[in-house]
């Protein structure tokens, strides 16, 4: 290589490096702290056009330096920035990257605007109508549409007639999966489960934040006097309680039921311990024939 060509080469390389650095400047500013989940996609829309980056750590940093970014997906050298940490779905290839120290996004519990699609699975030992108000053995699990819960994903079709129930082999809906279809709105005895099971898909207005939900649990009857201290929730706010499974619970009120999502984590992030629905405004038995529970709602 001649000296001249070498100088040109070096000049070009320096120019390239300078422009690349200028381009990459935001990446070297704040370094993000992230948790990385291989083989998980976040299906929330991209905030910006995807950017070519050489590592998932760069993707974490780019998000940390982008206002409103709380998560990203790194796939095939492209970084997709997200303003929501969910819905998360299992997928071969992409790495879901969650920024740490981000307040829980409302979408992890319930969307904050428009309608929300809630999928309920009711399972009762006695009630052939799957009537949770008349059978203390009934348990209700709640899913948000197309949102991963542990290793389970539920997707309700648009006309609300059937639900695809997807069970993944790995946590956070990763790895191989099996899907079964469930019809909505019918209560049937399921021999393999030895229970009356029903599945519902409800499209409801998004719940309000900061309303008050009170859960009272008493022996013998509602308001018997033999009650544990009522649990009082501000809807959408992570609240310490020992009344439900888990240690910390977020409550959301819908027209006829309350959804309680419980966690071990003090900030209601990470693994969901239970996600249940209970009737609102009626006294019912739960867990034992002598335990009477009532949930009441007061607007914010
Ligand atoms: C990022 O860099 C810009 C320009 O260099 C600077 O003004 C800003 O304060 C930096 N931000 C942080 C959080 O360090
Ligand atoms: C991830 O989700 C987005 C949005 O739903 C979708 O466009 C993309 O194809 C998905 N990527 C993979 C690898 O599944
Ligand atoms: C549930 O989510 C799927 C996938 O995003 C969507 O196609 C479907 O319309 C949703 N169901 C309802 C009832 O909106
Ligand atoms: C049987 O029980 C399992 C676990 O509770 C549940 O996921 C499934 O939907 C039930 N089967 C039917 C047909 O309801």
> 25-57, pLDDT tens digit by residue?
344 456 788 988 888 898 889 999 999 999 999
Return the pLDDT at 82.
94
Q: Which of 87, 79, 138 is nearest to 108 (CA)?
A: 87
Which amino acids bring their CB within 6 angstroms of ligand 4? 121, 123, 165, 190, 193, 197
Asked if 154 and 164 touch (Cβ cutoff 8 Å), the reply is yes
Q: Which of 158, 44, 203 is nearest to 108 (CA)?
A: 44
Angle at 27 between CA 24 and CA 30, to 5 degrees: 150
Mean pLDDT of 159-174: 87
Residue nearest to atom 7 of ligand 1 (CA): 29
Domains along the sequence of the chain with CATH: 30-103 (3.50.4.10), 115-205 (no CATH), 212-298 (no CATH)
Return the pLDDT at 214.
96
Mean pLDDT of 182-191: 96
Which amino acids bring their CB within 6 angstroms of ligand 3? 117, 145-146, 155-156, 158, 160, 201, 203
CA of 64 to the centre of ligand 3 (A): 30
Angle at 220 between CA 219 and CA 226, to 5 degrees: 40
Calculate the average pLDDT of the chain.
85
68: pLDDT strictly greater than 60:
yes
Atom of ligand 1 nearest to the CA of 65: 13
For residues 6 and 2, give the distance between their C-alpha atoms in angstroms, rounded to a whole number: 6
Q: pLDDT tens digits, residue range 130-153?
A: 999 999 999 999 999 988 888 899
Return the pLDDT at 210.
87
Q: pLDDT tens digits, residue range 71-114?
A: 999 999 999 999 887 777 888 999 999 888 765 433 344 555 67
């Amino acid at each position: 290589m001649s000296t001249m060509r070498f100088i040109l080469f070096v000049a070009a390389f320096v120019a390239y490096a300078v422009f690349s650095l200028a381009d990459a400047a935001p990446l070297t500013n704040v370094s993000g702290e992230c948790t990385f989940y291989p083989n998980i996609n976040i299906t929330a829309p991209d905030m910006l056009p995807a950017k070519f980056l050489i590592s998932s750590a760069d993707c974490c940093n780019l998000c940390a330096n982008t206002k409103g970014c709380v998560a990203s997906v790194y796939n095939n050298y492209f970084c997709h920035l997200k303003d929501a940490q969910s819905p998360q779905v299992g997928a071969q290839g992409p790495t879901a990257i969650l920024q740490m120290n981000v307040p829980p996004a409302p979408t992890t519990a319930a969307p904050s605007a428009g309608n929300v699609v809630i999928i309920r699975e009711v399972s009762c030992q006695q009630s052939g109508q799957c009537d949770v108000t008349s059978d203390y053995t009934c348990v209700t699990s709640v899913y948000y549409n197309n949102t991963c819960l542990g290793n389970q994903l539920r997707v309700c079709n648009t006309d609300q007639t059937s639900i695809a129930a997807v069970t993944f082999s790995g946590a956070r809906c990763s790895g191989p999966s099996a899907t079964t279809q469930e019809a909505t709105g019918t209560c049937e005895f399921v021999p393999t489960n030895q229970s009356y099971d029903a599945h519902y898909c409800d499209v409801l207005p998004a719940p309000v934040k900061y309303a008050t939900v009170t859960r009272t649990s008493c022996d013998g009857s509602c308001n018997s006097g033999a009650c544990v201290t009522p649990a009082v929730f501000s809807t959408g706010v992570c609240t310490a309680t020992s009344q439900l499974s888990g240690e910390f619970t977020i409550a959301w009120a819908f027209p006829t039921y309350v959804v309680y999502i419980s966690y071990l984590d003090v900030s209601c992030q990470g693994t969901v311990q239970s996600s249940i629905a209970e009737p609102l405004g009626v006294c019912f038995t739960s867990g034992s024939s002598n335990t009477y529970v009532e949930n009441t709602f007061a607007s914010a």
